[in-house]
A and B are shown apart, each in its own frame.
Chain A
Amino acid sequence: GQQLNQSPQSMFIQEGEDVSMNCTSSSIFNTWLWYKQDPGEGPVLLIALYKAGELTSNGRLTAQFGITRKDSFLNISASIPSDVGIYFCAGRPRGSNYKLTFGKGTLLTVNP
């Protein structure tokens, strides 16, 4: 079945630094989504991408849908302490309009 490889597994950065994380797959995805999950809460949607090559921003967050449709990245600029949490990529595989496949997450820690 389709699997998403998300990296890095964890990051420890200083406040103000930029962050980049990515997600790759061996198969084609039609949709890429990025979620953030805080302890004790459900994932919150950050950015949704629907077309290959699409680059979308949401405040300090920028994400891109890879041109091969097999990868996506998320950048966070000028990190702040509230950026701490687990970031998940998720994709909707080609041929499946409904199911989301998730990566294993990137744990981000920001040192004030």
Chain B
Amino acid sequence: DAGVTQSPTHLIKTRGQQVTLRCSPKSGHDTVSWYQQALGQGPQFIFQYYEEEERQRGNFPDRFSGHQFPNYSSELNVNALLLGDSALYLCASSSTGGPSNQPQHFGDGTRLSIL
């Protein structure tokens, strides 16, 4: 039973560029959340996708956007990259079927470095 998978594992970009990160949820999960984890900090919620729509968003600018596909996989896009966007980007999946408080399971993340 595959868990949450993310690609790529590492990425280096320069300021001003754009990046796309990808996530496949755990089998049986239909909801995908994205988090940004700066060094030495806890993850910060970016947004969550369900039924191909963004249904909650954290305190991140519009440069951060996402998409969810019919197979529940998801992409995180970041435009006009800044040095401060360097972080570990984590994808978490959960199942919306049943109680709304299903725990989220995380992938190993994409380490994004901005030069």
Contacts and interface: CB of A to CB of B under 8 A. Distances in A.
Given A97-B101, A103-B42, A42 B109 contact: yes
Interface residues of B, number: 27
A30 interface: yes
B59 interface: yes
A48 B104 CA distance: 10
Contacts of B56: 96, 98-99
Interface of B: 4, 31, 33, 35, 40-45, 48, 55-56, 58-59, 90, 92, 99-101, 103-109
20 contacts: A35-B106, A42-B4, A42-B90, A42-B108, A42-B109, A43-B43, A44-B106, A50-B101, A90-B43, A92-B101, A97-B100, A98-B31, A99-B33, A99-B45, A99-B48, A99-B58, A100-B104, A102-B42, A104-B40, A105-B41
